[in-house]
Structure 1
Amino acid sequence: MNDSLENQNTSFLLAEKQQRRLQIKIHSNYFKKWRMFRFLSAFFGCLAIIPAIISYEIGFSPNRTYDQCEINTENQNFLRFSILILSYTGIAMQIPLKHYYYKWIRLYPFTFEELPPSFKPTYLEIIEMTRKRKPLEYILDHNTYLVTILFLIFPYPEMYTKIYFNQQIKYNQYVLCYYLEEIFYFVMFLRVFYLLFSAFSYGQFQNPMAYRICESYRIKISSMYSVKCYSWMYPMEVLLFVFLIPGLIVFGIGTRIFERTIKFNGMNFDSLENSMWCIIVTMMTVGYGDTIPHSNLARGVICLSIFWGGIILSLTFVTLGNMLKLNPKETLAFKAILATKESGHIICEKLTERLLKEDRLKGWRAFEYKLSKFFNPLKKYQLSEETRIYRETATLSNRIEKIDKIADSLRHKLKKLSKEL
């Protein structure tokens, strides 16, 4: 009877363990799927920028002036429809993304059954994870509506809407002419930042193991958490390839779009190099440099680059500070060098005094010592407080190491004795 009950309990535990393993496997599969659809959504959204660039460049007329809007409409429909299809594909990818995400989050609490209670989610968190979502939450949660709005802003087919801005430049009043799709074209480049942060969903800080560890520390994993981790590991690479270069390209293109038709300001913003130089000077000085845009739209882009440049400068200072900071081993070596130097000075001084008393110090060294005592009779080498602390700490560390060695040898001998017994 007892054997049958024990067998039943064993089979029940095995079945429960297999069920838990299956849940973990399904949970990991859902995680990979929603992460993949998030990246695909950002990828297709950014892929639409390529036909948008071609459409803008071939549509810009060489006869275009600040007050006369002209555009070449040949071969525009095919490119505009390509932008539309790719942008709508990026929006459509948000649907399976949210579907698999909520399936993944619903199974999330069941993957912590084998962990201690302190590492498990709270009951309120479990209720929040497993509850059924309302249709509106699919749009509002995780800024899905912002991504959708961003992907809906692009030059539509047969869209050639002129807009005019009154602008005062050097005490003269001007009317600047733009196309609405040019503003939409610049907004499309903001999708690059969404792609960058979506790419951070992959890597060693965004996998099931990382989620498990962060859950035990009650840390919510996000793309920003991965950016922080990689910034700590690779500060220069993140500074260059995540913040500086994308910001330089996006804001440089925006300045060129809104300023290239103004030919009388003494600066050729039709050149992308000049526009990027303006952004570089603005970012590095957080203000205007030798190239100044005149249109209000271009100045708006400059304001965005000022805020972005503030982030880059702060990261630069932090990165340089970390590079110039001594690590623990280097700090120990630094303290050892100073302590050895101070100890050497004290030993030399005591030895020189003794040799002088015994009349064994002669020649130039005796003259030099007497001269130094004449000009500075109160100067005496003494151990500083930091050196004393270091010497005491080093002595204590050496004793601890000796105790560890003795303990290891005793442990080894006890193992041998236990095997013999």
Structure 2
Amino acid sequence: MFKFLSALFGSLAIIPAIISYEIGFSPKRTYDQCEITTENQNLLRIFILVLSYIGIALQVPFKYYYYKWIRLYPLTFEELQPSFKPTYLEVIEMIRKRKPIEYILDHHTYLVTILFLIFPYPGMYTKIYLDQQIKYKQYTFCYYLEEIFYFIMFLRVFYLLFSVFSYGQFQNPLAYRICESYRIKVSSIYSVKCYSWMYPVQVLLFIFLIPGVIVFGIGTRIFERTIKFNGMNFDSLENSMWCIIVTMMTVGYGDTIPASKLSRGVICLCLFWGGIILSLTFVTVGSMLKLNPKETLAFKAIVATREAGSVICSKVYERLLKEGRLKGWRALEYKISKFFNPIKSHQISEEARIYRETTRISNKIEKIDKIADSVQHKLKKLSKVL
């Protein structure tokens, strides 16, 4: 729970950051002249600082209880078969005393701490200038350093989403016990895989697609909204998100094109994220179109029955034609079909033969099972009588 609370407080800091950025953005600002409205900025940034530091502080009890649990973890393997038990080296690694630096390095705690330390600090108004050549003309773009920090803060959303997967039906004691028996490491990624298998459409939309479009769309708007000379309107969040969607889907209409280096960096990140989304989309659509076992049996039964009926009808038509009883349109239709399919109309495909043979064997097995159950029932009755 401390891991989720840490991610939640860290992500809540984005709300005052959004308010601070929007009210601080000056309408007089241009791509080469930075201006900012400083009214109420420090108060909002103090809220950001407090929420971010609370998120960092909650990492401490999370690591404390995690390592307290990991020391008791080897005891849960006592009832397992010897082939599934961990080695002595693994047990020693679990119960040994950790160095303070290991508390920071394990589970990427240092990355979470760095992520939570990147935000617009109170009183921070640092200008940076980036030179860039566009269509053989030299331009100088002005940004505030805290705008870059502001965009990086949105990466906390992804940390929050994946922290949610640390809880649920694949992270309870029952799931832990089953995973122990199979020597599977329980993690958030394992839960994501499980939920992706169970709810592929929901995971694709609400974990990958929608958060990606929002986060990268906001990033493109931050770094591109002051650039007006190229005819693009990235001041509109809708246009920025449209650019992200087109980029993710690898369509590339070219109606919205980012110009600055920073926004192009966001587009590069978006491309990698879009690759994940596209691969999940293909897998999801493929699983939706794939027949389940019962549907496969029904499909094979329909095909085999139609082929058998076609062969029977062909034999009947052939005999009627020899006897001179097949006349008119039916005789012409039969001759045309026989001309174009001289072999198919008299043969059953190999797949249909295998299905019919499998069905015949399955029916015999069912009959044998029924007879065995009947004999077993009679033997029980006889044993009671005796």
TM-score (norm. length: structure 1): 0.88
Structure 1 partner of 2:385: 420
Name the structure 2 match of 1:284.
Answer: 249
Q: Are the aligned partners of 2:248 and 2:270 in contact in 1 as well (CA < 8 Å)?
A: yes
Of residues 182, 192, 212, the one that matches 1:217 is 182
Q: How far, CA to CA, are the matches of 1:252 and 1:379 in structure 2?
A: 58
Distance 1:220 1:304 in 2: 29
How far apart are 1:221 and its partner, in Å? 1.2
Say yes or no: does 1:90 pair with 2:58: no
Show the 5 A alignment for 1:88-237.
88-237=53-202
Gaps of 5+ in 2: none
8 A contact 2:32–2:141 mirrored in 1 = yes
Deviation at 1:407, TM superposition (A): 1.6
Counterparts of 1:196 and 1:372, CA distance in 2: 61
Alignment-mate amino acid for residue 153 of structure 2: M
CA contact (8 A) 1:287 1:306 kept: no
* Cα gap change, 1:159 to 1:372, in 2 (>3 Å): closer
Q: 1:345 aligns with which of 310, 314, 321?
A: 310
Q: CA deviation at 1:358?
A: 3.4
Structure 2 residue identity aligned to 1:312: I
Q: Which of 363, 373, 377 is the matching residue for 1:408?
A: 373
Q: Distance in 2 between matches of 1:54 and 1:313?
A: 33
1:47–1:267 Cα change, 3 Å: same
Change (3 A) 1:248 1:201: same
Q: Does 1:265 align with 2:230?
A: yes
Deviations 1:325-373 (A, max 9, x none): 1111111111111111110111111112222333433443334434555
C-alpha distance in 2, partners of 1:375/1:72? 82
Distance 2:340 2:161 in 1: 66
Structure 2 CA distance, aligned partners of 1:413 and 1:77?
87
Residue of 312, 318, 321 corresponding to 1:356: 321
How well do the aligned residues superpose, as a CA RMSD in angstroms?
Answer: 1.6
Q: 1:373 to 1:283 in 2, by over 3 A?
A: closer
CA separation of 1:283 and 1:289: change in aligned 2, threshold 3 A: farther
> Is 2:310–2:345's contact at 8 Å kept on the other side of the alignment?
no
Q: Are the aligned partners of 2:248 and 2:273 in contact in 1 as well (CA < 8 Å)?
A: yes
**Cα 1:107/1:286, change in 2 over 3 Å:** farther
Aligned residues: 386
Between the aligned partners of 2:91 and 2:259, the Cα distance in structure 1 is 55
Give the residue type in structure 1 aligned to 2:277: I
Could you tell me how far 1:222 is from its partner in structure 2? 1.0
1:125 offset after TM fit, Å? 1.7
Moved more, 132-141 or 285-294: 285-294
Q: What is the distance in 2 between the residues matched to 1:364 and 1:193?
A: 69
Measure the CA separation in 1 of the matches of 2:337 and 2:251. Answer: 53
User: Match for residue 40 of structure 1?
Assistant: 5
User: Compared with structure 1, are the counterparts of its residues 219 and 287 closer, same or farther at alpha carbon in structure 2 (3 Å cutoff)?
Assistant: farther
Counterpart Cα distance in 1 of 2:49 and 2:141? 28
CA distance in 2, matches of 1:221, 1:170: 52
Of the three residues 23, 27, 30, the one matched with 1:65 is 30
Tell me, in whole angstroms, the C-alpha distance in 1 between the residues paired with 2:70 and 2:331.
82
2:297 corresponds in structure 1 to 332
Residue identity in the other structure for 2:89: L
Cα distance in 2 between the residues matched to 1:44 and 1:182: 20
Q: Which whole-Å deviations, capped at 9, do the CAs of 1:361-387 have from their partners, x for residues lacking one?
A: 344333443455567666642011111
Asked if 1:251 is matched to 2:245, the reply is: no
Cα distance in 2 between the residues matched to 1:146 and 1:375: 70
Q: Identify if the C-alpha distance between structure 1 residues 372 and 108 changes in structure 2 by more than 3 Å, giving closer, same or farther.
A: closer
Distance 1:275 1:65 in 2: 18
Amino acid at match of 1:119: F
Give the whole-Å Cα distance in 1 for the aligned partners of 2:340 and 2:278. Answer: 49
1:275 and 2:237 are equivalent in the alignment: no
CA, structure 1 residues 370+241, in 2 after alignment: closer, same or farther (shift >3 Å)? closer
C-alpha displacement at 1:44, in angstroms? 0.5
Looking at structure 1, the residues matched to 331 and 252 of structure 2 have their Cα atoms a distance apart, in angstroms, of 63
Distance, in Å, in 2 between the alignment partners of 1:197 and 1:374 is: 63
SS in 1 for 2:63: helix
Asked if the contact 2:10/2:55 (under 8 Å) is kept, the reply is yes
Q: Could you tell me how far apart the structure 2 residues matched to 1:106 and 1:50 are? A: 38
Aligned equivalents of 1:375, 1:176: Cα separation in 2 = 72
Does the 8 Å contact 1:286/1:309 carry over to 2? no
Tell me how far apart the structure 1 counterparts of residues 335 and 252 of structure 2 sit (CA, whole Å).
61
- Please say if residues 282 and 302 of structure 1, whose CA atoms lie closer than 8 Å, have aligned partners that are also in contact: yes
Are the counterparts in 2 of residues 282 and 289 from structure 1 also a CA contact under 8 Å?
Answer: no
**Mapped partners of 1:180, 1:419: distance in 2:** 88
Looking at structure 2, the residues matched to 121 and 238 of structure 1 have their Cα atoms a distance apart, in angstroms, of: 33
AA of the residue aligned to 1:131: R
